[in-house]
Amino acid sequence: MKPRVVRSALFTLLAVISAVAGQAQAQSWPEKPITFVVPFAAGGGTDAFARPLAAQLDAQLGKRVLIENRAGAGGTVGASAAAKAAPDGYTFFMGAAHHAIAPSLYPNLDYNIEKDFIAVALIARPPQVVVVNPDKVAAKTLAEFIAYAKANPGKLNYGSAGAGTTHHLAGELFKILTKTNIQHVPYRGAGPAMQDLIAGHVPVVFDGLGSSAAPVRAGQLRALAVAAPKRVPAFPDLPTAAEAGLAGYEVSTWYGLFAPKNTPPAIVQQMAAELQKAMQTSAIKEAWERNGSDVPDVTGPAFAKMVSAEVERWRKVVTEANVKLD
């Protein structure tokens, strides 16, 4: 037999063995707890979706799905750790829109969101919302808030989930459109930003509706407008930014599940199937509605394509707004 034929036959055999091994591994998966790396502090928008989803998967899989919060540097610390995790199907990464922004702001990232991860599924996509502390900001409408900001240049601070996050860029876009001067105060996640907003240490946050919904309902915060093309069913009385007089202000965030590169395809496919099953349960649908998100059905290559489009979209926004990290 010729050497080339032998090599071809060998490669085919190895591919078959690998496929069979992967299928066998998937059939026995999971055999131990699974970890979702959440790259922000507990209590933020990512947690608002990751924790109910983990609880639902607990019930479906019969194994614990644990949340590991690893905050820092706009979500890039957790992403870096997840990218280096063993690709054995027991570590997944709960990424967000922030990770499509990061490549434009962090030139020395030691991971690539498009190349070092496998896009499993889009989980949620709640819109951004402008929220204020009612004890610190008298404005009851977005127009009143803009007027106050213009009358007090440089005197207002806005909190964010961290430098380079959608919260940060939502604030910068707001400043561009309104020609106001509001100072940015980055936190280590939306949770700490929300805590300081509720406590009155910062007067306004451009937040994802997922982490703002509960304190808004409780009366701790006042929502002025949602940065979406249409009103959110969970908050029917909350106007869109355009309705409130600020045309063109539309910012949404999204959350998605990723697997480290080289995770067995059969396990990735099984996780995607489990996610689709979980997303159709009443518990998840109700939680998502409370947090202002629809239940998306975007998995695999379609989700990967969306991520690549987001990376390019935010690159243009960063350039136009001339956003720099301090």
Examine the pLDDT at 52 and tell me if it is beyond 70: yes
Question: For residue 21, is it within any domain?
Answer: no
**The CATH number of the domain where 265 resides is what?**
3.40.190.150
Q: How far is CA 19 from CA 12, 113, 116, 255, in A?
A: 11, 26, 21, 30
Range of the domain at 116: 34-125+254-321
Q: Are residues 115 and 190 in the same domain?
A: no
Residue with the bigger pLDDT between 26 and 324: it is: 324
Examine the pLDDT at 232 and tell me if it is beyond 70: yes
24-34, pLDDT tens digit by residue? Answer: 555 789 999 99
pLDDT band at 323 (very low <50, low <70, confident <90, very high): confident
**Could you say which of 224, 244, 264 is where a domain stops?**
244
Examine the pLDDT at 2 and tell me if it is beyond 70: no
Examine the pLDDT at 115 and tell me if it is beyond 70: yes
Question: For residue 75, is it within any domain?
Answer: yes
Question: For residue 12, is it within any domain?
Answer: no
Question: For residue 28, is it within any domain?
Answer: no
Question: For residue 197, is it within any domain?
Answer: yes
Examine the pLDDT at 237 and tell me if it is beyond 50: yes
pLDDT at 18: 46
Q: Are residues 141 and 116 in the same domain?
A: no
Q: Are residues 136 and 227 in the same domain?
A: yes
Question: For residue 6, is it within any domain?
Answer: no
119-164, pLDDT tens digit by residue? Answer: 999 999 999 999 999 999 999 999 999 999 999 999 999 999 888 8
User: H helices within the chain, ranges in order?
Assistant: 3-28, 45-61, 76-83, 98-105, 142-151, 166-178, 190-199, 209-217, 265-279, 282-290, 300-321
What secondary structure does DSSP assign to 251-303, as a single string? -B--EEEEEETT--HHHHHHHHHHHHHHHTSHHHHHHHHHTT------BHHHH
**The CATH number of the domain where 233 resides is what?**
3.40.190.10
The residue-averaged pLDDT of 48-59 equals: 96
Question: For residue 231, is it within any domain?
Answer: yes
Total domain count, the chain: 2
The residue-averaged pLDDT of 315-319 equals: 86
Q: Are residues 232 and 260 in the same domain?
A: no
Q: Are residues 178 and 279 in the same domain?
A: no
Residue with the bigger pLDDT between 73 and 268: it is: 268
**Could you say which of 221, 244, 267 is where a domain stops?**
244
Its pTM stands at: 0.80
Examine the pLDDT at 219 and tell me if it is beyond 60: yes
pLDDT at 3: 55
71-85, pLDDT tens digit by residue? Answer: 988 899 999 999 999
- Mean residue pLDDT of the chain comes to 90
CA–CA gap between residue 24 and residue 146 (Å, rounded): 59
Question: For residue 111, is it within any domain?
Answer: yes
The residue-averaged pLDDT of 54-72 equals: 96
62 DSSP assignment: S
**Could you say which of 215, 244, 273 is where a domain stops?**
244
